[in-house]
Amino acid sequence: MAKKTTPANRLSNFTIESIPASKNRYCGPAAMSAITGKDPDHCAEILAKVINRTRCLYVNRTAAGVTSTYVREVAVALNELGYAISMENAQPYEVESFKKWATRTEEERGGDVFLVLAGAHWRVVHKWQTVCGIKRTPHHTNSATRPGSKVFAAWKVTSLKG
């Protein structure tokens, strides 16, 4: 029987991988998939449940329609998968582009995994690589999708428990 990978183990041995093709092509579920290693459709289902619990919607969101996610919703959905992003870890920056932020912070980020919101678009950054729901394959931060997008904040991703 295969050993179950824990969030702590996954983060300590983290490698950015391609995001698998799925029905949901949006950046929130894609970023969650990159962090957790779960299928984007599974991540979208969890996000849809969180959105339906937290927003007053007339129509329930379905996994295929998870768009425009809020930081709080992504944080709660990641918690349900054993990961955390803390507002205490949030790193608000002066208005700067994603490319400039990635270059400036590369050394201080070290080997940690970051969830970045830039230009209303979620992406995952680890060392000098990034992945998002648009390109879906790991690439250098210098060739990121929408490199001029302004960084809203970056959150260090941790596990809830070891």
Q: What is the CATH number of the domain that holds 84?
A: 3.90.70
DSSP letters, 63-84, are GGG--S--HHHHHHHHHHTTEE
Give the torsion through C-alpha atoms of 144, 145, 151, 153, to 10 deg: -80
Range of the domain at 70: 7-14+23-159
Quote the pLDDT of residue 1: 47
Percent of the chain with pLDDT over 70: 86
Question: Whose structure tokens read 């596990």?
Answer: 159
On whether residue 137 sits in a domain, the answer given is yes
Quote the pLDDT of residue 105: 87
Model confidence pLDDT, tens digit, residues 10-36: 898 899 899 988 888 789 999 999 999
| pTM value surpassing 0.75 | yes
On whether residue 2 sits in a domain, the answer given is no
Degrees, nearest 5: CA angle 65-84-94: 85
pLDDT at 58 over 80: no
Could you tell me which residue, 139 or 67, shows the higher pLDDT?
139
